[in-house]
Structure 1
Amino acid sequence: MPLPDLEAWATFAAVVEHRSFSAAAEALGVGKSTISKTVARLEARLDQALFHRTSRRLALTEAGKPLAEHARRILAEARAAEEAARGGDAGRIRLAAPLGFGVANVAPLVAAFLREHPQVEIDLVLSDARVDIVAEGFDLALRIADLPDSSLRARRLCGIQTHLIAAPAYLAAAGAPAHPAELASHALLGYANVPGPWRFRGPDGEEASVRPAGPLVTNSGEAMIPALLAGLGIARLPGFIVGPHLASGALVEVLPAWRNAAVGLHLLTPPSPLRPARVEALIAFLAARLRDPCEST
């Protein structure tokens, strides 16, 4: 069986990444005609069209969409292998993290890591939107969620305790629930990054759950705070977001005798086990230092 055309697969991945033949040619330092011929060679080999091409638009075909993921992995593993062979101590790392947690806990660690590794550059992206690590070219990401099955490599660092909270004014008007079952009659603000029902365990071991439904659903925990302070409902959020408001009394615990399920803090990396030394160093650095914030929240 002939060997795969790795150059063509890598070129295909570059076109997908840069979204045009011209941009891929510029990034790879070759002519546009070379890119076109190489992609055409792969299409002929596969007997499949990979792109719909017009004068204004380039889009993957239905056959090309699943193959693009394979191409990305081939290119990523080849790059990682070459960097590992060169030592991989210098260069750029792309890191994604949730906005609030990232500002409070990740940004200081990034600064400390850069002081210890001056040859490394870090592109830190803070967003509560769920990024596509492979498609967007991230080397690693931190995610606070119960993770679905995926091809990503995931390492659970710790659990982050969540708090059920509301403004005193809301509880005075709507009444404070005495049991999780009573939450169904309340306005519950939803945190889109942690979907599914809220689960509780009572002091006697009783378990209960409720699915939130109310006037607001958002992928940003910080965006819930104004609605909570305005007395619009009850929310379940991690301590690193609500801690100051609990301390000031602006928000109070609801059902304090019932324990909220902890949400996992995970470190995610692309499927390939091949990683440059600088990425391995950052993974070890973050994993060793991101346990204390979890325990304190």
Structure 2
Amino acid sequence: MDRIDEFAIFVRIVEEGSLVRAARRLRRSPPAVTRALSALEDRIGTRLIDRTTRRLAPTEAGRALYERARAVVADYEAAASGAREVPVRGLLRIAAPVQFGRRHVAPLAARFLDRNAAIEIELLLNDRNVDLIDEGIDVAVRIGALADSSLTARPVGHVRRQWVASPAYLARHGVPENPSDLASHQALLGTSRGALDWSFAGRRRGAPLHLEGRFRTDDIETRLRAVRDGRGIAQFLSYQVADDLAAGRLVRLLRTFEAAALPVQLLTKGRVHRAPKVDAFLDFAAKRLSALPVLRSD
């Protein structure tokens, strides 16, 4: 088997996380893909993929080889296609937070598909920070500071954490003027780690305030419905409540105690040897996301 072909199969296996899916994408039989992986592991002399009952995952050696193999395959495709005129084609795997993905990334993905007939997209919506290499993600939307310096980030805007309540709730219980006033209010909280504590700018260097709330949920839409129904005060990212604030369904509270804005960024695994499909989507998405009012307002 051609060594470039061998690398291309290995890259597809890592990105798909499945021999069967990789074979389907490559239009080859699963046994042929399995044989190619075994041959590559035998030739290199180390295990590249850990096989579990649920999925495949690259070993440490596999992750290192994946980055080099992906670069080799991308270079080969560029040279074979006339260097710069590389067609935008193949599977593009995109990850985004659930609400942001539904509202803003899914429409972008659909428009990108309309413009590029040879592209396929898998959109993964999850509020955890996914590992781009382990999960084979090409582009991820990340809200917040970037901890992994091996990733490349393209800023597209910012959002804030804001406290809101319905006019009806505030009419019954009053408007809190300071964080300490929240002790006499109902807090609508999440259930994840840290979701029971709210931090305030200027309050003992941002020391969190532990809150009690009779209703907690990890689902943002359910919490939004509860705050609209007048069940308490809640904290959301600004893009999640922008429409409600504009329509007067919710009121923004404690504005002077809001923390600094959080960056919204498009993440990739690096600049060097990036596939044309990734660069094309980055340019397409960055231009449109940067123009969204919800990512530019204070």
- What is the TM-score of this pair, normalised by structure 1? 0.71
Residues 99, 127 of structure 1: 8 Å contact kept: yes
> Which residue is equivalent to 1:83?
77
Q: Distance in 2 between matches of 1:244 and 1:196?
A: 25
Counterpart of 1:160, as a letter, is V
Distance of aligned partners of 1:89 and 1:51 in 2 relative to their CA distance in 1, 3 Å threshold: closer
Counterpart of 1:148, as a letter, is A
Residues 15, 137 of structure 2: 8 Å contact kept: no
- Percent identical: 32
Equivalent residue of 1:123, what SS? strand
> Which residue is equivalent to 1:97?
96
CA drift of 1:165 comes to 0.5
Equivalent residue of 2:153, what SS? strand
Equivalent residue of 2:137, what SS? coil
Q: Distance in 2 between matches of 1:77 and 1:169?
A: 58
> Which residue is equivalent to 2:252?
253
Q: Distance in 1 between matches of 2:50 and 2:107?
A: 43
> Which residue is equivalent to 2:64?
70
1:85-134 CA-to-partner distances (Å, cap 9, x unmatched) read 3233331333333343344434454455556x444535162624334433
> Which residue is equivalent to 2:269?
270
Distance of aligned partners of 1:194 and 1:46 in 2 relative to their CA distance in 1, 3 Å threshold: farther
Counterpart of 1:234, as a letter, is I
> Which residue is equivalent to 2:41?
42
Superposed counterparts of 1:166-181, under 5 Å: 166-171=165-170, 175-181=174-180
Distance of aligned partners of 1:158 and 1:27 in 2 relative to their CA distance in 1, 3 Å threshold: closer
Equivalent residue of 1:290, what SS? helix
Q: Distance in 1 between matches of 2:36 and 2:112?
A: 43
Superposed counterparts of 1:49-64, under 5 Å: 51=50, 57=53
252-261 vs 189-198, greater mean Cα deviation = 189-198
CA drift of 1:206 comes to 8.6
> Which residue is equivalent to 2:147?
148
220-229 vs 190-199, greater mean Cα deviation = 190-199
Q: Distance in 1 between matches of 2:19 and 2:105?
A: 37
Residues 153, 271 of structure 1: 8 Å contact kept: yes
> Which residue is equivalent to 2:132?
133
Q: Distance in 2 between matches of 1:108 and 1:47?
A: 43
Equivalent residue of 2:163, what SS? strand
Q: Distance in 2 between matches of 1:193 and 1:105?
A: 26
| Count of equivalent residues | 284
- What is the TM-score of this pair, normalised by structure 2? 0.71
Counterpart of 1:240, as a letter, is Y
Q: Distance in 2 between matches of 1:108 and 1:24?
A: 27
Residues 77, 86 of structure 2: 8 Å contact kept: yes
Query: Which consecutive residues of structure 2, in runs of 5 or more, have no partner in the other structure?
Result: none
CA drift of 1:269 comes to 0.7
Q: Distance in 1 between matches of 2:246 and 2:99?
A: 18
> Which residue is equivalent to 1:165?
164
